[in-house]
Amino acid sequence: METTDLSEARDRRWVAAVATGDEDAFRGLFGRYAPMAKALALRVVRQPQMAEEIVQEAFLSVWRHPDGYEPDRGSVRSWLMAMVHHRAVDTVRREESQRRRADQAASVGLRDEVSDHAEEVVAAVELPRERRAVRAALADLPDEQRAIVERMYFGGESQRQIAAATGLPLGTVKSRTLLGMRKLRAALEELER
């Protein structure tokens, strides 16, 4: 137990030192946790090169934003491993999404060769109406919900990035996202009727 406390105290000192730009402290954190982080990322993504990139991104984030560590929420180790795990899962999702889009594009290409373009014309006519509906539904959201939804979907930011940039707790960002999306869905469903 005492060894764990000493290790955690050292880790916290390293994170505090990284916040001042201390490269040796950063090297200490990296040396201690990079192998564990790579093993975790590798279990999720199953590709060594991709796992290395995930670990590099996570530690780059530590270097840029060491203030993201909140001692009252857990150990430095759990903070780092959570970062790596989230990035790995996001990578897997992104890869699967890209694969699905490529498959869909290939199947659409085959369909286009044998079909007429009536559906495309209908979709092109409906698109401006749908865009207006989405803009109107967004405009009706409370400012704090709209700002977060816009940052996520138009700015490409994650909820964690928004929380870090705005200083809001991650839970607040998540709840505002959920409420905003529910209101958008309800407004758009109402327009479809």
Q: Does residue 148 surpass a pLDDT of 60?
A: yes
Per-residue pLDDT tens over the stretch 94-128: 999 888 888 888 777 655 555 555 566 555 656 66
Fold designation for 117-193: Arc Repressor Mutant, subunit A (1.10.10)
Mean pLDDT for 12-33 is 96
CB 20 within 8 A of CB 14: no
CB 188 within 8 A of CB 133: yes
Average pLDDT score, the chain? 86
What pTM did the predictor assign? 0.53
Compute the distance between CA of residue 186 and CA of residue 193 in angstroms, rounded to an integer: 11
CA 24 to chain centre: 29
Residues of the chain with CATH 1.10.1740.10: 1-115
Compute the distance between CA of residue 146 and CA of residue 176 in angstroms, rounded to an integer: 9
CB 68 within 8 A of CB 61: yes
Q: Which of 145, 140, 121 is nearest to 188 (CA)?
A: 140
Per-residue pLDDT tens over the stretch 57-99: 999 999 999 999 999 999 999 999 999 999 999 999 999 988 8
pLDDT band at 31, cuts 50/70/90? very high
Q: Does residue 190 surpass a pLDDT of 80?
A: no
More confident residue, 191 or 179: 179
DSSP character string of 133-176: HHHHHHHTS-HHHHHHHHHHHTT---HHHHHHHH---HHHHHHH
Residues of the chain with CATH 1.10.10.10: 117-193
Instruction: Give the tokens for residue 53.
Output: 């990139």
**Distances in whole angstroms, Cα of residue 20 to Cα of each of 10, 85, 156, 180:** 16, 26, 29, 37
Check residue 8 and give its pLDDT.
93
Check residue 2 and give its pLDDT.
64
Fold designation for 1-115: Rna Polymerase Sigma Factor; Chain: A (1.10.1740)
CB 41 within 8 A of CB 35: no
